[in-house]
Structure 1
Amino acid sequence: MRKPRARSATASASARPGRGALGREVGWFVVIGLASTVAQALAYWALRRWWPPLSANLVSLLVVTVLNTEANRRLTFRGSTARVLRAHLTAGALFVVAYATTSGAVLLLRHRWPTAPTAAEVAVLVPSFALVTVVRFVVLRLLVFRRRR
Structure 2
Amino acid sequence: MRRFRARHNASARPGRSALTSEVGWFVVIGVASTVGQALLYWVMRHWSPPVLANLASLLVVTVLNTEANRRLTFRGSPVRAVQAHLAAGGLFVLAYVITSGAVLLFRHYRPTASPAAETLVLAPAFALVTVVRFIVLRLVVFRRRNR
TM-score relative to the length of structure 2? 0.88
User: Aligned partners of 1:105, 1:44: CA distance in 2, in Å?
Assistant: 14
Query: Which of 104, 111, 118 pairs up with 2:108?
Result: 111
**4+ runs of 1 displaced by more than 3 Å?**
79-82
User: Aligned partners of 1:20, 1:97: CA distance in 2, in Å?
Assistant: 30
| Shift in Å, 1:81 | 6.3
| Shift in Å, 1:96 | 0.2
| Shift in Å, 1:83 | 2.3
Q: Does 1:36 align with 2:33?
A: yes
Query: Which of 31, 41, 48 pairs up with 2:45?
Result: 48
> SS of 1:70's equivalent?
helix
User: Aligned partners of 2:23, 2:88: CA distance in 1, in Å?
Assistant: 18
- 1:92 maps to 89
Most deviating of 82-91 and 59-68: 82-91
- 1:140 maps to 137
1:36-93 superposed Cα distances (whole Å, 9 cap, x missing partner): 0010011001101110110000000000000000000000000456421221111100
- 1:9 maps to none
For the Cα contact (< 8 Å) 2:102–2:122, is it kept in 1? Answer: yes
- 2:19 maps to 22
- Give the residue type in structure 2 aligned to 1:95: F
Q: Report percent identity of matched pairs.
A: 71
Matched residue count: 138
- 1:73 maps to 70
Residue 111 to residue 79, structure 1, CA distance change in 2 (3 Å): farther
User: Aligned partners of 2:62, 2:82: CA distance in 1, in Å?
Assistant: 14
Residue 79 to residue 70, structure 1, CA distance change in 2 (3 Å): farther
> SS of 2:80's equivalent?
helix
For the Cα contact (< 8 Å) 1:79–1:145, is it kept in 2? Answer: no
For the Cα contact (< 8 Å) 1:83–1:144, is it kept in 2? Answer: no
Unaligned runs of at least 5 residues, structure 2:
1-9
RMSD over aligned CA atoms reads 1.8
Unaligned runs of at least 5 residues, structure 1:
1-11
Name the structure where helix makes up a greater proportion of residues: 2
